[in-house]
Amino acid sequence: MERITIDPITRLEGHGKIDIFLDGNGDVANSYFQIPELRGFERFCVGRPVEEMPLLTNRICGVCPEAHHMAGVKAADAVYNVDPPRTAKMLRELLYMAFYATDHTTHFYALAGPDFIVGPDAPVAERNILGVIHKVGLEIGGKVIQMRKFGHRTVEMIGGRKVHPASAIPGGVTKILSEEERKEIEEMGRWAIDFALFSLQAFNDIVLSNKTYLDLIVGDVYTHKTYYMGLVDENNKVNFYDGKVRVVDPDGKEFCKYAPNEYMNHIAEHVEPWTYLKFPYLKNVGWKGFVDGKDSGVYMATPLSRLNAADGMATPLAQEQYEKMYATLGGKPVHQRLAIHWARLIELLYAAEHWVELATDPEITSPNVHKKPTGIPTEGVGIVEAPRGTLTHHYWTDEKGLLTKVNLIVGTTNNYAPIQMSTKKAAQSLIKGGKVSEGLLNMVEMAFRAYDPCFGCATHALPGQMPLEITIHNSDGEVKEVLKR
Amino acid sequence: MQTIIVGLGNPILGDDGVGWRVAEEVSAQSGIMLGDAPLPHPSAPKPDPVTIERFSLAGLSLMERLIGFDRVIIIDSLNTGQRKQGEVIAFTLADMDDLTHGHSASAHDVSLKNALKMGRSMGEALPDDLHVHIIAIEAQHIYDFKEDLTPQIAAAVPVATQKVLDLIHEFTQTEAA
């Protein structure tokens, strides 16, 4: 049989591609990280009924369909000016907690784990989830699979479908939870709490107790002092599903707090000639380039940002871990990007705890799950926290509810500017006087992997994964070296 | 022997949806219903349950949906840029290089190859790489939101469909022998 070799370069047209330009001294002058842009989504949507959006947008991405489903239905609620019954909101949120627990688990064990558990210097062939299992033991792999099974099962029970949930509609949800289902979901949630605690303990034992790893986390290479964004509830606690968007400045002080429909007063998008993807920034600070500090409108929206932007966690065990993290890393806000991994595990615990809170609410099995929208549709914004950052859906319709305009700001896009800065900083520390240090690929990878950038759209076509390519150019712009894997 | 046929891709991303279209065509021609349905004629000489699904999944999530099957046929778009648009090629996962060994610039997941290794090491019933057949259709326009296929890719649908049907036939022959 013919052997199939897929040349990474051809697959890389504009994806996972980093160009580094050196100055006359051979130091890094600039670096450009390109990620793909999906084209034509707005045109694709215009003319469709707005209630199709929660189903359609969850097809944008194979990784976080649940996040798009939720942002989409919340925007559709807003378009119809309908406030769903409490039980409907709780069911949506319960599904969302199960999704979060699954997603954060996958990221930690499959993506971050290899760097911290197998080690950043380990051979590439070992730096994957198999290496993690090899090092920590089969038990951990079994737990990861179990966590994912429980997450999928809960999403399926509430969302009506295994992968792309279909139950949320404007005004509520289509499916009532039975007592039998509720019991099963509660049990799975209790297991998830134990799993989250186990994961935090593993992080403590393997990462925090290892000086090399701790130094890597608190070191300067991965530090940027930027603004931080996250959704908060009425007590300024982290919330994934609902609330107001709060932004804190690099000193941790509240800079602004706004309702979803006010986002355009606060967020603007910067365009660069070398990439199709836009860079969102804080409008009221202004775009000053890819720099950090209080005068630069660059913000970050990640698990760590959410923790930085809030006053705490809404559940007791997660709150304990929240306090521990800030005590260990020297108070709020934490600017070290690799701490995003720690924050992600604290969020995993919150998601599991809240999962059980919702599953044990006396009203969760109430049949009152839908309020019929009666208003004339106009315009609406829905915001949720996707695992990778604040997700905004904005729809405009005519009086029949047919879409006339759509705007989305997706999780990863929020972080495009900080990712750009982090990859550049990692490159600067590893390329000096024209000499490229060993491990450049690893360190650059670690820089952006912390943000958990999602190019889910690109996962479908074979080979199903994007290789990384770094091209280093000399001061004349000529290609000096190409590193790839 | 249990076989699952998976049309892979995103049905709203132009030619990336070709895997779905082929799965639908295989279903129409074979009479095997889409979804978790067994063969319509259980008394027929080839009683192996064949399942046809359409997924937009990769890595771990895809692996989880293959648990319990002895053979897998995945139909997907392939973007090498080195082949003619619409060219259909068949290979197995064992023939495919594991480009990234894991996760480099990853799209938030592990490769299917590693996901399967992981699943097997956890004791899940999964086929080996030689039994994961891939029918791939070279396609370039996989980043544009639209629901229809470009003509060259649409023309490849019957070719790929026949390859899938041939594979199923081959399986049943092998089993009968």
**Residue A429: closest CA among A419, A438, A417, A420:** A438
Question: Which chain A positions have a beta carbon within 8 Å of B68's beta carbon?
Answer: none
Identity of residue A330: G
Chain centre to alpha carbon of residue A340: 10
Q: Are strands A279-282 and B3-8 parallel, antiparallel or unpaired?
A: unpaired
Region of B59 (left: φ > 0; alpha: ψ -120 to 50; beta: rest) is left
> In A116-228, which residue ranges form alpha helices assigned H by DSSP?
129-136, 138-159, 179-202, 211-218
Question: Is the minimum CB–CB distance between B142 and chain A shorter than 8 Å?
Answer: yes
Per-residue pLDDT of chain B (177 residues; tens, 9 = 90+): 899 999 988 888 889 899 999 999 999 999 888 874 443 444 444 445 789 999 887 788 889 889 999 999 999 988 777 789 999 999 898 887 654 433 333 444 577 888 898 899 888 999 999 999 999 999 888 777 888 999 999 999 999 999 999 999 998 888 777
Judging contacts by C-beta atoms under 8 Å, the chain B residues touching residue A460 are 8-10, 13, 16, 19, 56, 58, 76-77, 142
Which 3 state secondary structure label does DSSP give A178? coil
CB proximity B165 to A under 8 Å:
no
0.90 exceeded by pTM: no
Token representation of residue A211: 């000086």
Mean pLDDT, to the nearest integer, of A249-254?
97
The tokens describing A264, both together, are 């355009």
The pLDDT score that the predictor gives to residue A266 is 97
More confident residue, A435 or A400: A400
Domains, in order of start, for chain B: 3-176 (3.40.50.1450)
Nearest chain B CA: its distance from A290 CA (Å): 21
**Nearest 5°: phi and psi at A298?**
-65, 130
- Mutant choice from A465, A468, A484, A485 vs B, greatest count of B C-beta within 10 A: A465
* Percent of chain A topping pLDDT 90: 56
pLDDT at site A196: 98
Are residues A243 and A231 in contact, defined by beta-carbon separation less than 8 angstroms? yes
CB proximity list for A408: less than 8 A, separation 6 or greater: A41, A57, A60, A391, A392, A393, A394
Average pLDDT along chain A: 87
Q: CA of A440, closest CA in chain B: separation in Å? A: 12
Strands (E), A217-266: 227-232, 244-248, 254-258
How are beta strands B3-8 and B71-78 bridged, if at all?
parallel
Query: End-to-end CA distance of chain A, in Å?
Result: 25
- Grade residue A253 by pLDDT with cuts at 50, 70 and 90: very high
> Domain segments of chain A: what residues?
8-36+424-484, 224-335
Interface contact B97-A4, CB threshold 8 A:
yes
Averaged pLDDT for residues A220-239: 95
What is the greatest pairwise CA distance in chain A? 70
3-state secondary structure of A309: helix
List pLDDT tens digits, range A23-65.
Answer: 888 888 888 877 666 667 778 889 999 999 998 887 776 667 8
Rounded-to-integer distance, Cα A319 and Cα A253, Å? 20
pLDDT > 70: percent of chain A: 90
Tokens 């809170």 label which residue? A357
| B16 in reach of chain A (CB within 8 A) | yes
Question: Per residue in A376-425, pLDDT tens?
Answer: 999 999 999 999 899 999 999 999 999 999 988 887 788 889 988 988 88
HSE-CB at A455 with a 13 A cutoff on CA atoms is 28
d(CA A130, nearest CA chain B) in Å: 6
Q: What is the ipTM of this complex?
A: 0.79
Closest of A230, A412, A374, A228 to residue A313, by C-alpha: A230
Is the CB of residue B8 less than 8 Å away from at least one CB of chain A?
A: yes
Contact residues on chain A for B58, CB-CB shorter than 8 A: 62, 459-460, 464-465
DSSP H helical ranges for A35-178: 41-45, 53-57, 65-80, 86-106, 113, 129-136, 138-159
Number of neighbouring beta carbons within 10 Å of residue B94: 12
- d(CA A346, CA A332) in angstroms, rounded, equals 15
Give the count of beta carbons closer than 10 Å to the beta carbon of residue A180. Answer: 10
Q: HEC profile for chain B?
A: CCEEEEEECCCCEHHHHHHHHHHHHHHHHHCCCEECCCCCCCCCCCCCCEEEEEECCCHHHHHHHHCCCCEEEEEEEECCCCCCCCCEEEEEHHHECCCCCCCCCCCCCCCHHHHHHHHHHCCCCCCCHHHEEEEEEECCCCCECECCCCHHHHHHHHHHHHHHHHHHHHHHHHHHC
Instruction: Report the alpha-carbon distance of residue A39 to residue A33 in Å, rounded.
Output: 19
Q: Is the dihedral of CA A472, A476, A479, A481 positive or negative?
A: negative
Task: Look at residue A281 and give its three-state secondary structure.
Answer: strand
Give every CB contact of residue A365 below 8 A, 6+ residues apart in sequence: A87, A176, A177, A178, A179, A182
Which has more pLDDT, A231 or A131? A231
User: How many angstroms separate the CA atoms of A440 and A446, rounded?
Assistant: 10
Name which of A1-5, A223-227, A345-349, B11-15 the model is least confident about.
A1-5
Radius of gyration (C-alpha) of chain B in whole angstroms: 16
Put simply, the answer to whether B146 touches A127 (Cβ < 8 Å) is no
Between strands B88-92 and B3-8, the pairing is: unpaired
pLDDT band at A463 (very low <50, low <70, confident <90, very high): very low
3-state secondary structure of A275: coil
Pick B175 or A483 by higher pLDDT.
Answer: B175
Alpha-carbon Rg for chain A in angstroms: 22
Cis peptide before A273 (omega within 30 of 0): no
Highest mean pLDDT pick, A103-117, A342-356, A427-441: A342-356
Here the tokens at position A467 are 């290789």
B81: Cβ–Cβ under 8 A, 6 or more apart, which residues? A7, A10, A11, A13, B140
Q: What is the largest CA-CA distance in chain B?
A: 49
Put simply, the answer to whether B81 touches A10 (Cβ < 8 Å) is yes
Give me the pLDDT at residue A274, please. 79
- CB of B139 within 8 Å of a chain A CB? The answer is yes
Please give the Cα distance from B84 to B105 (Å, whole number).
Answer: 27
Contact assessment for residue A245 and residue A4, using Cβ atoms and an 8 Å cutoff:
no
Kindly state the tokens that stand for B153: 């890719």
| A209's tokens | 């107790």
The answer to whether the Cβ–Cβ distance between B12 and A44 falls below 8 Å is yes
Contact residues, chain B, for A62 at CB < 8 Å: 10, 56-58, 61
Residue A137 CB-density burial (10 A; 0-12 exposed, 13-18 middle, 19+ buried): exposed
pLDDT confidence band for A130 (50 / 70 / 90): confident
Token reading at A336: 């070290």
- 8 Å CB contact between B108 and A15: no
Q: What is the pLDDT of residues A171-207, one digit of tens each?
A: 999 999 999 999 999 999 999 999 999 999 989 988 8
